[in-house]
Structure formats: C-alpha cells, structure tokens
Amino acid sequence: GKLALPFKKQGKRPLLVACDIYRPAAIEQLKVVGGKVGVPVFEMGRTDPVEIARKAVAYAKDYGRDIVILDTAGRLHIDEELMDELKRLKEALHPHEIMLVVDAMTGQDAVNAASAFDEALGIDSVLISKLDGDARGGAALSVRAVTGKPIKFCGTGEKLDALEPFYPDRMASRLLGMGDVMSLIEKAQQNFDQKKAQELEKKMRSGKLTLTDFYDQLCQLKGMGSMADIAAMIPGAGGKALQGAQVDEKQLARTEAIILSMTPYERDNPEVLNFSRKKRIAAGCGLE
C-alpha cells in the first residue's frame, strides 16, 4: 500500500496482488490497506501464488492497470520451499523489478538476508522499512555495500504516506547530526498552501496575525508528520541535541481544541476574550 501510493500520485494506475497465502488474514489486511490508498486488490484466496500472479497480470492488461505489485509472503532465506516459490514466480512472470523489503531494526540480519536473497533470486532493488531512527542508518549502508543493489525507498513510520525515496546523501547528513534540509523543504512544499503562505506573509508584515492564521499553520504543520521527525531534519537539532527531549503532541491537540471552541469573531479578535468567554471556551474543549 505504501509503495502503491507514490505511483498513484504520479498518475499511474497500480494494482496490488495478494500472493501471501500463508499468514492468517494477510489477504484481508492487504484489501484494507488497498482501500485506504484507493488502489484495487486482486486476490484468489489461498490458491497457488504463481497462478494468482498470472491471472493478476492478465487482469491488469484487461483493465488498464499499468503497475502490478505482487505482495508475496515474508520468508526466511533458509526456507527452501518458499524460496523455490519465488523462483517459480520469477520464471513465470519475468518481473521488471524484484524489490526486497528488509527491516532496518534487525541490523546485521537484514544484511545477511539481502545477500542470501540476491544470491538465490537476483534482486534488483531494496526497500528498507523502519528507518525512522538515525542509529539504524548503518543497516542501509551495509545492505548497499554487500549487495551492490540500489536502495530505492525507506519506510519512516507506520502511516501509509511514511515512505520516502532513499537519498544516500540525506541519510549521511542525518547520521552526522546535520539534519536533512532538502526533505524538510519537500515536506513543506507538499503540505503548505503557497497562496495562503503569501497571504500570511502580508499579514505578518502588517502585524495582523490572528488565531485563525495560527490554526491554519498548525494544521499544515501536522500534515508534515510528528514534531520529533520534523525537528530531526533541522540542522543542529537532530541526533544528540534531541536526546531525552519530549515533544508533547497532545499539547498541540489541546491548542487545536481550544481554538476550535472559539467563534470566528473571537479567533480574529482575541482581545475580546473576557472571563465569561474563556470559561465557555474551556468548557467547549474539555479543559474546564
């Protein structure tokens, strides 16, 4: 689902295929995820994954789906039967790309798995999940060095949009505590409304900022991810500088609730907030 989303945003028409017939509820889980990102899921129950894949490709051709993503079962490289299944899939379909998903938290095991899969199957690229901790960047560097295959994407959280293209220079910058300004700029461009930003600039110059403006900025900031993730991208704020720091996301939610409990007039004219109005607002947002 995370992989299909960026392709969909590019105007492609991806199709997810449920080829994990072993893990309980894997098919249902993929259907739920597909529904959340608005991408259809092809499934045939717990039949042969190779047959499912064949039928899925034919379905994609018939219905104009230009990218087919096969979700195969997770497996250990020492499981010969499941590794043979992957080889049969490759022989039957001749896929354009075989992308191995490895867990950055497993450290050296991720490197060993990548090496074994490449030797047995011939992978084309790697997606590293759970790379939202700076200390886990070492796994990415090792996987690239051992396999020689490019790391195309990295997972940076649990949300469906928490998948980013992998940029080695940006990862190195984060590892060195130098932040990641380019990713921060890209996130801001995706979430901030340029027209609203220009209007806000005019208001700031004239000294006429209101709580409505503050609320708009808060909403756009929330769209960029958690405060901790954003802070880690700021030069000098990442790594050791943030060790032990607690970013209270709940406090932001409380601030949002307070503003939403005000009338539009009160948000634009906070000087009118007398005792009775404050009492009403506190009751309205549950902070009385």
Instruction: Provide the pLDDT confidence category of residue 80 given band limits of 50, 70 and 90.
Output: confident
Alpha-carbon gap, residue 147 to 119, rounded angstroms: 9
- Antiparallel, parallel or unpaired: β 14-19 and 67-72: parallel
- DSSP H helix total and E strand total for the chain: 14, 7
Q: What is the pLDDT of residue 51?
A: 95
Handedness of CA 232, 238, 243, 247 (dihedral sign): negative
pLDDT tens, position by position, 236-282:
545 445 545 555 667 778 888 888 899 989 888 888 889 899 889 88
Task: Give the count of beta carbons closer than 10 Å to the beta carbon of residue 129.
Answer: 20
**Pick the residue with more confidence: 223 or 189?**
223
Digit-coded pLDDT (tens) for 93-132: 999 999 999 887 777 778 888 888 888 889 999 998 887 6
**DSSP secondary structure letter of residue 177:** T
The DSSP result for 195-226, as a single string, is HHHHHHHHHHHHT---HHHHHHHHHHHHTT--
Closest-CA residue to 180 (of 222, 232, 127): 232
Backbone phi, then psi, for 126, in 5-degree steps?
A: -130, 140
Query: Whole-prediction pTM value?
Result: 0.61
What residue has token string 């958690």? 226
| pLDDT > 70? residue 57 | yes
At 103, is the secondary structure helix, strand, or coil? strand
